[in-house]
Structure formats: C-alpha cells, structure tokens
Amino acid sequence: MNIDKPKNVALIVAAGSGQRAAQGIAKQYVSVKGRPMIVHSALSFAQHPSIDALYVVIGEGQKEQAQQALAAIDYDALIIGGNTRQESVLNGLKFISQDVSIQNILIHDAARPHLPHAIIDTLLLALADHKGAIPILPVTDSMIKTKDHMMEQALNRDSLGRVQTPQAFHFQDILAAHRDAGNNDYSDDAQIMHAAGHAIAAVNGSPILNKYTFAEDFMTNKPNFRIGSGYDVHRFGVGEELWLGGVKIDYHMGLVGHSDADVVLHALTDALLGALALGDIGDHFPPSDPQWKGASSDIFLKHACNLVHKEGYEIANADVTIICEAPKIGPHREKIRDSIADIMNVDTQQISLKATTTEKLGFTGRGEGMAVQAQILIEKMI
C-alpha cells in the first residue's frame, strides 16, 4: 500500500470481559444472528471502500478466540488492550501510529455489532470540516436528574443526545488527546478529545447501532419474524364428534384421534412449534400418554401460544386451509375464526380460514378423512 496516500483506518475495541452481559464468555464472542458479535462490525469496516485498514484491540488471553472469530475477515492486527477501555484505546492508537500515512480513525465498540455503511460515510464526510465527529440519537423520553432515588430536576431533552460509536477523529489529534488524558475517568473518546479543546461535530446516528450490555439485550439476537407451517390429517369415523377449530360441527361422522382429533387446532399447534423450532405436537403431547386421550385440543394450542410468548414473540397472523369434500365449511367459517382467535388470544382479523376440495381425488376426495394446512407468522415483541 502506498504510504504517501492519506488513510482512513478503523479500530474496534473488544477487550472487555462482558461480565454484565452474563453470557458465560466475553460478550464480543457471543453469537449474534449466527456469528460472533465482533464479526458483524469487523465485516462492515472490512467491506467499506473508504476504510484502508482494520485493527482490533482484544483482552489478555483472548488471542486464540479472536483469531478464530475473525478468521474470514481481512484485518491488519490484533492489539492487546489494558485494564480499562481508555487504556485499551491508547494501546491501539500507539500501535497504529507506526503508520505515518494515517489521516483519520474511526474508533468503534464491538458491543455495537450492526454498523451501517451510511454511518461510516457520514462520519468521514464530517471530518472534512471538523477534527472529530460522533453519531448521536435524539432523546425522546422526558429526562430528569435524580438524587437518592428521588426526582431532583427536570432536564431539557432538546439539548441532549444519546452518543454512539464509531467515533471519528483526525488521527494525530486523538492520539495526542489520549496521551494527555492521564487517569481521568472518561467514558468515551469524544470526551477525551473535547477535554483537549477540540470541537466535536454531532451527526445523525442510527437505531440499528444498539449496544449489547446486559443479558436481556441479547434477546435482540432473535430474528424479528419467524414462520411456521403445520399439516395434519385425521380419518373419519362413525360415532365420533367433529371438532374444527374448537367448534363442534353437526355431521354424521367425526374425526378419529387420541385426543378430540381437532385437525385444525393440531395443524396450528404444529405451525407454532415449527416457527420456534421446538419439534411437533407429538413431542409435547405424546399419543402414547393416556392423559391426552379425548383431550380438548385447545390445550395443545394454548401451550404452543404460551411458548411463543415465553420466547419473546407474539402472533402476527395465521392462515388455515381445510381440505375436504364435506361437510361444507362456509357456513361455519366465521364461528371457527372467532374460536381460533379466542384460543390464541388474538383479534379475529389475524386469522384467515379457507376451505378447498381435491376434486374427488385422494383420501379427502373419497370422503375418508380431512387434512389441514396452517401457516403462522410470529413477530418479536418490541
């Protein structure tokens, strides 16, 4: 690389132990959406056309872990950090200072994995006119100052901002500011730069840049949406009751099964369990268990709904198709929809119910039984 070309470099700070995250390992190596958390921001920097080099500060004893996590990333060096974040950044800056062609640096916390390229662009653009720039988010809640757990003073939120990383600086200025910072307890690099007398520009941040700090933050590791599908079949039998979606249908035959054989609720239960990757209805309610003989199938569906909520999701919608020649479903459609919605504790408008035939083909066409297909969308709770 041409040393005469002014360079933009990135420094990811990943030296912490992450004890507050309570994940068993340093949080920067915890899987977030299928990858160690540190990989996400490292990849964003490595793939950005304006970033010429990438350095990562790691904790003592984390070298093997970091090398394994970053094996597919084009980075320049791993640097051992210090006892505090401030010491770790200074260690990184000193190491990087060997390259005299560096003009700008972006310092980023590994605990903010989701880094849009647009933020990098905005920060680099701001450095054309300022020695430092930080992304901030507006404060939307009312803000107060407290003392001894009591409200002391209301604050003007219009003058407040939530500071994020990466924070961007002219390299020589932030290096000098860190060297002069001493043992003062600064929480980020912008405070160090500002204390050295430099003006810091505030640019628009991004909600995507959320920070992972506590155990509950890792709930965001889950995808926003999950889809499940269910399919169930039961044969007709004389002398049986016909239950569909929790509604008893007047018909000369019913469906045969270990429980009440409600084929609609069984398919919906499997769809929900599938969305959560938690097996199927037989795993949770084995037909070999006598306690489920003749059981009402709303028990199964309510159980699956409870698991959805336990995992931090809510039901967005369900789409059900009943496949049979008879009985006619149309006259019972709205009652079945209302029943399903009541069992799942959702609005009826979230439940779609359709019916079709197979044009006399197959076991349903011959009137031997009934099949149901169900699709479910679940959505992560805000």
Domain locations along the chain: 7-221, 225-380
Torsion, Cα 122 127 130 133, to 10 degrees, reads 50
CA 81, CA 71: separation in Å to the nearest integer? 20
Are 7-221 and 225-380 the same fold in CATH?
no
Look at residue 208 in the predicted model and tell me its pLDDT.
87
For the chain, the straight-line distance linking the first and the last C-alpha, in angstroms and rounded, comes to: 46
Helix axes 171-180, 85-96, angle to 10 degrees: 130
List of the chain residues with pLDDT < 70 = 1-6, 17-24, 215-222, 382
Look at residue 71 in the predicted model and tell me its pLDDT.
93
Look at residue 267 in the predicted model and tell me its pLDDT.
97
Look at residue 380 in the predicted model and tell me its pLDDT.
81
225-380: which CATH architecture?
2-Layer Sandwich (3.30)
Contacting residues for 347 by C-beta, under 8 A, at least 6 apart = 341
Q: Which two tokens stand for residue 118?
A: 């647009």
Look at residue 187 in the predicted model and tell me its pLDDT.
87
Q: Are 379 and 275 spatial neighbours (Cβ–Cβ below 8 Å)? A: no
Strand order through the sheet with 225-238? 253-255, 225-238, 369-380, 313-323, 351-356
Look at residue 3 in the predicted model and tell me its pLDDT.
46
CA 136, CA 160: separation in Å to the nearest integer? 9
- For 306, the 3-state DSSP assignment is helix
Q: By 3-state DSSP, what share of the chain in percent is helix, strand and coil, each rounded to 5?
A: 35, 30, 35
Site of tokens 């919608």: 317
Give the CATH number of domain 7-221. 3.90.550.10
- For 189, the 3-state DSSP assignment is helix
- In total, the chain counts a number of residues equal to 382
